[in-house]
Chain A
Amino acid sequence: DAKTTQPPSMDCAEGRAANLPCNHSTISGNEYVYWYRQIHSQGPQYIIHGLKNNETNEMASLIITEDRKSSTLILPHATLRDTAVYYCIAAAGGTSYGKLTFGQGTILTVHP
């Protein structure tokens, strides 16, 4: 699985968009980009994933660059409950088995 690099911490004001970057310059063609978050030592929670195209769901949007070497997770209107550690993971999908390897993640702090 490709290695991912994230900033160790970020701040965001409540109600504003939180944009969390992730570099995955060695990602291979069959690897998806997954985002998870972990709130206060609970089990990680899935947010979103994508391969090439931008994706949006009820929680967030995922923007993947055309060369697929980086991506950005966007929380459009951050709330205090979005304070968590956010993990970006590159893992194989499709017909290939892909294990999830977590890095250090980004600690996002949303403040009033």
Chain B
Amino acid sequence: NAGVTQTPKFQVLKTGQSMTLQCAQDMNHNSMYWYRQDPGMGLRLIYYSASEGTTDKGEVPNGYNVSRLNKREFSLRLESAAPSQTSVYFCASSELGRGNTEAFFGQGTRLTVV
């Protein structure tokens, strides 16, 4: 049981380049999330998906797009990377709206934009 898997684990981009961060969960969860964490800061919600086919903005959505490809996968795209997007990105999944269970987090993608 892999839980939440994020790829890649590390990435360096040049300003203006685009990339997609991948996230997949194997727990049949309906809800999935993308967070970013800057050095010394807490996690900030970028986008979330309550269920397959729906996505909503979180606190810091500017500069990002998301796709809930299916129930398992939730990707985060940076269309034109900027140095301010240098951060650690965490994906999570849960059944928070049902049964009040825990959220599971991936190990993170460490992104540097130069």
**Residues of A at under 8 Å CB distance from B?**
32, 34, 36, 41-46, 49, 51, 85, 87, 91-105
Contact = CB atoms under 8 A, between A and B. Distances in A.
A49 B94 CA distance: 14
Residue of A46, A87, A91, A102 with most partner-chain B CB within 10 A: A102
A41 B108 contact: yes
B74 interface: no
A43 B106 CA distance: 6
Contacts of A87: 42-43
Q: Which bracket fits the contact residues of B? A: 20 to 34
Nearest to A51: B100
Nearest to B88: A41
B108 A93 contact: no
B53 interface: no
Interface stretch (B10-18, B44-52, B64-72): B44-52
A105 B42 contact: yes
Contact of B97 (A36, A42, A45, A93): A93
A43 B100 contact: no
Contacts of A34: 102
Interface string B101-114: 01111111000000
Nearest to B94: A100
A91 B48 CA distance: 14
A34 B104 CA distance: 13
Given A100-B33, A101-B45, A104-B41, A46 B108 contact: no
Contact of B103 (A46, A94, A104): A46
